[in-house]
Amino acid sequence: MARELPIAPVDRIVRKSGASRVSESAALALADMLEDVGSEVASQAMRLARHAGRKTVTADDIRLASRQL
């Protein structure tokens, strides 16, 4: 699967968390993990929207899905 998240913003997330330096492999690992978790949340949110009879996934679906996982 091709990576969807650019590495620079992921690097900034780690730096904003307090790291002064971030290796490229660390940023890549976090990007992969964020994509995996994001995909799981999105899939659950899609199921919630369908269950509610909607085609549109809402922010509430995302929030609820993230709590369920």
How many whole angstroms separate alpha carbon 60 and alpha carbon 17? Answer: 26
- Judge residue 23's burial from the number of C-beta atoms within 10 Å of its C-beta, 0-12 exposed, 13-18 middle, 19 or more buried: exposed
- pLDDT at position 20, please? 97
Measured CA to CA, the distance from residue 41 to residue 59 in angstroms comes to: 11
Q: What pLDDT, on the 0 to 100 scale, is given for residue 2? A: 79
pLDDT tens per residue, range 7-60: 999 999 999 999 999 999 999 999 999 999 999 999 999 999 999 999 999 999
Beta strands per DSSP E along 1-69: none
Q: Looking at residue 1, what is its pLDDT?
A: 62
Contacts of range 38-41, beta carbons closer than 8 Å, 24 or more positions apart = 40/69, 41/65, 41/66, 41/69
